[in-house]
Structure formats: structure tokens, C-alpha cells
Amino acid sequence: MYELDWSSIPGALPFLWQGMKVSLAITAVAVVAGIAWGTVLAVLRLSPARPVSLFAAAYVSLFRSVPLVMVLLWFFLIVPSLLRDVLGLSHATDLRLASAMVAFALFEAAYYSEIMRAGIQSVSKGQRSAALALGMTPLQAMWHVVLPQAFRNMVPLLLTQAIILFQDTSLVYVSALADFFGAAYKVGDRDGRLVEMLLFAGAAYFVLCCTASWAVRLLRRRVLA
């Protein structure tokens, strides 16, 4: 029978915290940039101009059809060489974090755009008609009248997606970038305590995500009330 030994965890906490900061940084950038770009995509998707809406539809369906792991591998391949050419950086610069942020932002935008599209469609048509009748341009009506309501309706779903995104950031493991999960794996591997570290990492994710989901449920009740 395997003897569990948790003694390597306390000493590893500072390193794990460094990893957690990487996970949270990627999540934060991807949520903000993903919602912004996703909202633009949703508006484009609903635009009457056919080429524009086709572009948005193609973008969303492409990113939703390819596994996240594959998208990450693409971005770890392309982004570093692109950034080095544009910014003239040396090869020593570590661009894995930047690549991960770009990849998650562009990938999650596809999912956020579907949420925002549903949000825009949930706002009653009279709102837009009234805004247009008041003399607003279609863009003004979208920005000042439709989007604020759509966003408010969709806040719980956007946050739930952010929790999923936080869990998905563990996949930067494929680039050996030390996020929280990667840090836990590295420590476990080094100390020969992989079993304990993996269980600890799983439990930490569980507690964090459960608490966050519970907070979102509370918020949803207040939004609906």
C-alpha cells in the first residue's frame, strides 16, 4: 500500500504561488480581451453586411472545431517568431506567457461571442427601434442601449465561462510553462511525490472553482431578482 507523505508541500508553497499567479494572469488577460473581441465578433455576426457576418461566423466555428491543445501548439509556434520579427527581440526572450495569453484570448473570444450573441438577441427589439427612432445611428443604439443590457443579462454566463477558462489554463502544460498545475507537477516530479502533489493541485482547483461557482450562483439570483 502506498504511504502518502505530504511533507514536501509546505516548502513548495511559494513556488506554487508563483505558478498560480501565472494561471491567474493568463485568465485575467483572456477574460478581458476575450469578452472585448468576442463582443465585436457577436456584433459583426449579427451585422446585415454579408461578408462581415460570414467572417465572424467562420472565425467562431473554426476556433470551436479545433481542440484547445492544438490551438495552443499553433500559437506557441507562430506568436514567438511573429513578435520577434515585429519587435526585434532576441531569441533568448521567453515569449511563452505572451503566446499563451494571445492564444487564450483569441480562442475564448469564439466562445464569448456566442454568449454575447445570445445576450444581444435577448434584448427586446423595441429597445433598438426606440433608440433608432430617437435619432441614434445603429452603432450608437448598439453601444448605448443594446450592449449594456445584453452584458448585464449575460454576466453570470460570462463568469461561468471564466471559471472554465481558468481550468483550461492548465493546458499551457504543453509548452512547459509553469502555471499552477505545471508548478505542482514539477515539484512532485523533483521530490518523487507526484501522487501527493497531483492530489493537492486537484483539490486546490476544486476548492477555488467551487467557491467561484457558488459566488456566480448568488450573483445570478440577484441579477434575476
Please say whether the beta carbons of 41 and 212 come within 8 A: no
Using CB under 8 A as the binding rule, whether residue 210 contacts another protein is answered as: yes
What separation in angstroms does the CA of 221 have from each of 121, 149, 164, 214? Answer: 21, 17, 20, 11
Q: Which of 38/147 has CB closer to another protein?
A: 38
Using CB under 8 A as the binding rule, whether residue 181 contacts another protein is answered as: yes
Using CB under 8 A as the binding rule, whether residue 198 contacts another protein is answered as: yes
Task: Give the contact letters, 159-178, x = binds to another protein (CB under 8 A), - = no.
Answer: --------xx-xx-xx----
Count of CB atoms situated within 10 Å of the CB of 144:
11
Alpha helices by DSSP H, the chain: 8-45, 50-65, 68-87, 96-122, 125-133, 138-140, 147-168, 180-191, 194-224
Q: Which of 55/173 has CB closer to another protein?
A: 173
Binding another protein (rule: CB under 8 A), the pick from 4, 49, 92, 225 is 4
Please say whether the beta carbons of 172 and 73 come within 8 A: no
Residues at the interface with another protein (CB under 8 A): 1-2, 4, 62, 65-70, 73-74, 77, 167-168, 170-171, 173-174, 181, 185, 194-195, 198-199, 201-202, 205-206, 209-210, 213
